[in-house]
């Protein structure tokens, strides 16, 4: 059929089964927004900032497993969205971000709201397009969704000049995607898998190293089967929380800079690392020369560029984690789980020596308690988003995650301001679950305008603000490594967060006691509108354990034990 480029965008979204689009209109994308007005096949959620639109699409994608979609205009609309693109690229989140562009005749003239969007996005997207003919739109949009969702997922950017959205051309979405240079390798090499299984059978102190790629591949339940059938203990990266349930006896805990003592020591003592969907990030490995230095390494990943990029893999397996794990499960009967009993006892000793804990020795609420308490009260009924900082690490340490896609956070880029809009996207995708955003008094102000989005669209996100009147994580580093020179991290001058929420039509609470917190959370859940719960917490609390930057995993700063 002959339709306009703008109509093609709408028809492609419908064909892809898109039910939610996040965005912000402007001149260059106006033709597409006119077509959005005329349709009722999907909902459009108007955010109050383009960065928030992309973060909301990220949250939607992370919790649902679907491709998230955001739509923005040219110039500042696009540059505002770049942080979201970079965040999605670092965390391998499948997105299609459609931007308007000035008409073809004005490209390169420094026209009003012109920016080289494709040039800017090249380094922070999996792929990008500048569409110069409406006849190319069906192919480009179909390729964009395919590329975003397959292989190692990631964001794809499609830039469309305004005159192309007005141009009439033939629309045929039945074409098959066949990209000659893009053929993700999803099946693991059988010979390599066989060698890996033999290595596991011969290992005495193996450890599963579970990464966020397991979540992306929807492989968590297969991984649970593999861990249980082998009896091999497992550590999770920050992005893999929820792969195993928090109460799984074989889960040692979170690994890395703020990982548990037991997890970091197990990785330091292991003789075989079984890496599944992990990229050996610097926040996990610490000093590379000391990372699992007496261990062989099995590395399973869909992205061949990730394998042996940082840590040499003795058994490299390129393939979809779900497929490879299923292949290993078929041979798991050859592995005697009883032989690891002594190794599991060693790890239990690590856990008893320095358990993950905190001291309740203050008049103020400890932030760790707040996170634990939400877990006790809501548990599996909540999806947990976070901003970035101390509260983010405490969430990874202390929330009792029970399922994959329950935890939504900014890992690789570490984007303050991510949490609230992401939690809005989470609520849009999964309205039956309570959407909690753990945030700080620094992070929440970076996208607090999204209160209006949540109120307008009736998306009742509960923002729990752990207020220590500091830019907490930077303050912690300044305390520990800069002789307590707290340069520009004191946030004592603040808005009234209760009134701020109420001004937008939400509800606000300010709590100083545990009893007040319980009552506020209960009330916020029952009232079912967007909420700020400001919790006044201990100002100088540190996130521990901590591996200093560039240090070895076995050389941790630990919580001092209280004298009895």
The residues assigned a catalytic role are: 50, 112-113, 162, 473
**With 0-12 CB in 10 A as exposed, 13-18 as middle and 19+ as buried, what is 40?**
exposed
The pairing of strands 434-440 and 462-467 is: parallel
Could you give the 3-state DSSP secondary structure of residue 157? strand
Contact between 3 and 132 under an 8 Å Cβ cutoff? The reply is no
Residues in CB range of 494: below 8 A, 6 or more apart: 441, 467, 469
Question: Measured between alpha carbons, how far is 324 from 277 in angstroms, rounded to an integer?
Answer: 11
Question: Measured between alpha carbons, how far is 273 from 253 in angstroms, rounded to an integer?
Answer: 15
CA nearest to 475, candidates 528, 539, 518: 539
The first and second tokens of residue 423, run together, are 């939690």
Compute CA distances 166 → 114, 546, 562, whole Å.
Answer: 18, 56, 70
The first and second tokens of residue 355, run together, are 């358990």
Residues in CB range of 239: below 8 A, 6 or more apart: 91, 211, 212, 215, 409, 411
Helix H or strand E segment including 342: helix 341-353
Phi first, then psi: give them for residue 396, nearest 5 degrees: -65, -30
Length of the chain: 564
Q: How many CA atoms lie within 13 A of 84 on its CB side?
A: 36
DSSP 182-224: -----SPPHHHHHHHHHHHHH-SSEEEEE-THHHHTT-HHHHH
Q: How many CA atoms lie within 13 A of 503 on its CB side?
A: 9
Contact between 486 and 427 under an 8 Å Cβ cutoff? The reply is no
Residues in CB range of 522: below 8 A, 6 or more apart: 377
CA nearest to 384, candidates 347, 430, 349: 430
CA-derived radius of gyration, the chain = 24
The first and second tokens of residue 236, run together, are 């999770």
Question: Measured between alpha carbons, how far is 478 from 306 in angstroms, rounded to an integer?
Answer: 33
The pairing of strands 168-170 and 2-4 is: antiparallel
**With 0-12 CB in 10 A as exposed, 13-18 as middle and 19+ as buried, what is 376?**
exposed
Question: Measured between alpha carbons, how far is 168 from 147 in angstroms, rounded to an integer?
Answer: 26
Compute CA distances 53 → 39, 73, 90, 381, whole Å.
Answer: 20, 12, 17, 25
CA nearest to 208, candidates 291, 272, 296: 272
């Amino acid at each position: 059929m002959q339709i306009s480029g703008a109509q093609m965008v709408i028809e492609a979204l419908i064909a892809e089964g898109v039910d939610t689009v996040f965005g912000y209109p402007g001149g260059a994308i106006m033709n597409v927004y006119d077509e959005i007005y005329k349709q009722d096949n999907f909902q459009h959620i108007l955010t109050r900032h383009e960065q928030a639109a992309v973060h909301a699409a990220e949250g939607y994608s992370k919790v649902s497993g679907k491709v998230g979609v955001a739509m923005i205009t040219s110039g500042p609309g696009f540059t505002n969205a770049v942080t979201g693109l970079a965040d999605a690229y670092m965390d391998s989140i499948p997105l299609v971000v459609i931007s308007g562009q000035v008409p073809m005749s004005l490209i390169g003239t420094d026209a009003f709201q012109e920016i080289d969007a494709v040039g800017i996005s090249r380094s922070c997207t999996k792929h990008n397009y500048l569409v110069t003919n409406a006849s190319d739109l069906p192919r480009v949009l179909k390729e964009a969704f395919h590329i975003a969702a397959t292989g190692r997922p990631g964001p794809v950017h499609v830039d469309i000049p305004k005159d192309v959205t007005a141009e009439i051309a033939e629309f045929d979405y039945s074409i098959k995607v066949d990209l000659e240079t893009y053929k993700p390798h999803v099946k693991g090499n059988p010979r390599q898998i066989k060698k890996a299984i033999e290595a596991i059978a011969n290992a005495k102190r193996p450890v599963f190293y579970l990464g966020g790629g397991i979540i992306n591949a929807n492989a968590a339940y297969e991984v649970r089967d593999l861990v249980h059938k082998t009896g091999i203990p497992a550590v999770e990266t920050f992005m893999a929380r929820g792969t195993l349930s928090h109460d799984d006896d074989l889960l040692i805990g979170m690994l890395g800079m703020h990982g548990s003592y037991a997890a970091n020591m197990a990785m330091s003592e292991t003789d075989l690392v079984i890496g599944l969907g992990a990229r050996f990030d610097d926040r996990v490995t610490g000093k590379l020369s000391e990372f699992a230095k007496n261990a062989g390494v099995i590395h399973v990943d869909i992205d061949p560029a990730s394998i042996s990029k940082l840590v040499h893999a003795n058994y490299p397996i390129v393939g979809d984690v779900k497929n490879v794990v299923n292949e290993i499960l078929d041979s798991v009967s050859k592995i005697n789980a009883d032989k690891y009993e002594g190794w599991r006892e060693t790890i239990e000793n690590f856990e008893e020596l320095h358990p993950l804990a905190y001291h309740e020795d203050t008049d103020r609420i400890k932030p760790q308690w707040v996170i634990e308490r939400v877990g006790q009260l809501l548990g599996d009924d909540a999806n947990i988003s976070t901003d970035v900082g101390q509260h983010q690490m405490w969430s990874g340490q202390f929330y009792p995650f029970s399922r994959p896609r329950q935890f939504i956070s900014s890992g690789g880029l570490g984007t303050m301001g991510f949490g609230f809009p992401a939690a809005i996207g989470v609520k849009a995708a999964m309205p039956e679950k309570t959407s909690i955003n753990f945030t700080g008094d620094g992070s929440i102000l970076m996208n607090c305008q999204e209160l209006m989005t949540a109120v307008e669209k009736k998306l009742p996100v509960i923002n729990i603000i752990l207020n220590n009147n500091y830019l907490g994580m930077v303050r912690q580093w300044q305390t520990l490594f800069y002789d307590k020179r707290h340069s520009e991290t004191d946030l004592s001058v603040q808005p009234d967060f209760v009134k701020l929420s109420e001004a937008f039509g939400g509800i606000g609470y300010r709590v100083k006691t545990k009893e007040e917190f319980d009552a506020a959370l209960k009330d916020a859940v029952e009232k079912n509108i967007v909420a700020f719960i400001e919790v006044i917490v201990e100002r100088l609390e540190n996130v521990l354990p901590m591996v200093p930057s560039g240090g070895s995993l076995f050389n941790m700063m630990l919580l001092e034990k209280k004298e009895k």
